[in-house]
A and B are shown apart, each in its own frame.
Chain A
Amino acid sequence: MEYVIELKDLTKRFGNITAVDKLSIKVPSGKIFALLGPNGSGKSTTIRMICGIIKPTSGHGTVLGFDIVKESEKIKKSIGYMSQKFSLYEDLTVKENMDFYSSIYGLDKKEKVKREKIIIDMMELHNRENQIVGTLSGGWKQRLALGCALLHNPKFIILDEPTSGVDPVSRRLFWNTIKKLTSEGLSVLVTTHYMEEAQESDFVAFMFNGHLLTFGTPSEIIRENNSNNLEDVFIKYVNEHGGMDKL
């Protein structure tokens, strides 16, 4: 099987905080992989190491077969990233943001026009092209962010809480888009607090205090834990490993 992510004992420490502790995981390509865990459990830190934003303290990892430390420049060409905090230019318009990122990803003029049109259709951003991004509401900002992450036709997209504070219509559009693209071969890593979203993913992992607690398909995990749904599993894990006060 081909793996989009392979991590071995990946660790990140900030001073005396161990944000990610000896994380090992293998995620198959072409699937939606949901990373779950309460706030502060190390999801974003893991993602930021995978994307090459920060360097691991120890351990190894590959993304799309490239080493996350030594070959992060190669990884960057083939991944799309949506950070937890909105990080496109609020003082530019929707179109200007897309133009900027198309150029940064090295799309030529023809490709750029074509891809931008596809993205605008996909995220239903019509009539908003010339709106200043800072004046968009949360859901629309996230649509644009996903759109920009997909502009250069990446093989793998990494979405950090893309649907937090997003209206139900945008959330639906998000998941439909992600699923459709996965069926065309895209790999997806997504973090979320919504269990119904986790339920729709191909693989799920639970993180807690920097540790990986479990990894598998949603149905496997539910079965192993003798639960009815992922939400119960989630609460069970949190209670076993530290109690609700850590949530």
Chain B
Amino acid sequence: MSISRLFAIIKKEFIQIKRDKPSLVISIVMPLAMLFLFGYAVSTEVDHIPMAVFDQSKTQESRDFINAYRNSLYFNPDYYVDNIDELNNLIDTGKVKAGLIIPPDFSQYKNKMTNVLLKIDGSDPTTARTALSSGIMVAQYFSNKNTEKELAKKGMHIPNIGIDLSTKVEYNPDLNTLTFTIPGLLGLVMQNITIILTAFALVREKEKGTMEQLIVTPIKSVELMIGKLIPYILIGYTDFLMVLALSIYWFRVPVNGSISLLLLLGFDFIICALAIGMLISTAAKTQTQAMQGAFMVLLPTIILSGFIFPREQMPSVIRAISDVIPLTYFLDILRGIIIKGISANILLNQIIIMTSMGFALLLIAVLRFRKRLD
């Protein structure tokens, strides 16, 4: 193998990337766009739910109750209405996601069982679930506090018996969605960029007919292959580092485990993506076909790898498909290292499977690629 030939190919490839708008967009804009889109839009935290209030009591008691909702931070009871139609209308138009209906005799709650109604817009289940559980909690807490007070006035205490459940959330104590999404995004970005660019680059020579000239030179197919792949390994890896840096410093998602392990396994995963890109290129004749092929591969990986939907909930057939996607294992690894801070021996299964997949894919890709050259 000749190093100067290798360098010539790498240099040529970089010049071509520099002059090719789509390649530039894919290698620079796409990772940033994906990071910020997913970072900001896919946040599933629900708080400050807009709420309408139909307060028929208009007493200090009812105002305290409404304030309890505001103070919980889950609700913004900013719409005060005077009749039930108005409240329904606000829910219909989507201005509010919840409506609190307080009866005229609310202030009597200290003496008798009083019924308050919380209406919730169920069309978005995520918001609705939060509104439901936190809405119940606020009322219960408010009610318990009062019961305690009333009992104390009568010189009584609630006996200190029963079950007091303490909870401790490990790894992501604030249940911050970003902490979960961003590590997965690292893998997704690296996968997409590497697969698309690799498939593109390898098909380009075929489509433009420049391969015909190359074949007549003393270049060896390994040189051509390695020379053409190195730039995309570098770009894929640079994007990985860029997204990693942004997630740490911009999105404040700390890496709890070993960074060097992360960097090493990132390289491991790039091999998988590279091989998939090569395989697509051996099946495609034009860059358009390569793009279509890439999307056909990428879409299922986004949906099935556990990036968005938990794999545990998948039907067994679908789950079996997700078992053969390298990204599935890399996501486990990323989340394991970044969120849980666990070490390689706990992730050994995933590492072994991902590495073997990488080598198997690479072997098939190289064999197919060489065959196409001859």
Contacts and interface: CB of A to CB of B under 8 A. Distances in A.
B210 A103 contact: no
Contact of B212 (A87, A90, A99, A148): A87
A77 B216 CA distance: 9
A81 B16 CA distance: 23
Interface string B177-201: 0000000000000000000000000
Contacts of A79: 216
Contact of B218 (A53, A76, A88): A76
Contacts of A86: 209
Contact of A101 (B11, B217, B374): B217
A83 interface: yes
A159 to B, nearest CB: 12
A89 B216 contact: no
Nearest to A92: B15
Interface stretch (B2-10, B141-149, B254-262, B345-353): B2-10
A52 B216 CA distance: 7
A120 B7 CA distance: 24
Interface in B189-233: 208-219
Interface string A208-245: 00000000000000000000000000000000000000
B215 A53 contact: yes
Contacts of A23: none
Give the bracket for the number of chain B residues in contact with chain A: 20 to 34
Given A76-B217, A77-B218, A91-B19, A104 B212 contact: no
Contact of A89 (B5, B7, B12, B215): B12
Contacts of A99: 8
A114 to B, nearest CB: 17
Given A85-B209, A87-B210, A92 B219 contact: no
B213 A81 contact: yes
Interface residues of A, number: 28
Nearest to A100: B12
Contacts of B5: 103-104, 106
Contacts of B211: 87
A87 B209 contact: yes
Contacts of B217: 76, 101, 104-105
B109 to A, nearest CB: 77
A81 B2 contact: no
A34 interface: no
Contacts of B12: 89, 92, 96, 100
B212 A85 contact: yes
A73 interface: yes
A90 B208 contact: yes
Residue among B5, B11, B210, B219 with the most chain A CB within 10 A? B210
Interface of B: 2, 4-5, 7-9, 11-12, 15-16, 19-20, 208-219, 374
Given A92-B16, A104-B5, 20 more contacts: A52-B215, A52-B216, A53-B215, A76-B217, A77-B218, A81-B216, A83-B209, A91-B15, A91-B16, A96-B15, A99-B8, A100-B12, A101-B217, A103-B5, A103-B8, A104-B214, A105-B217, A105-B218, A106-B2, A106-B4
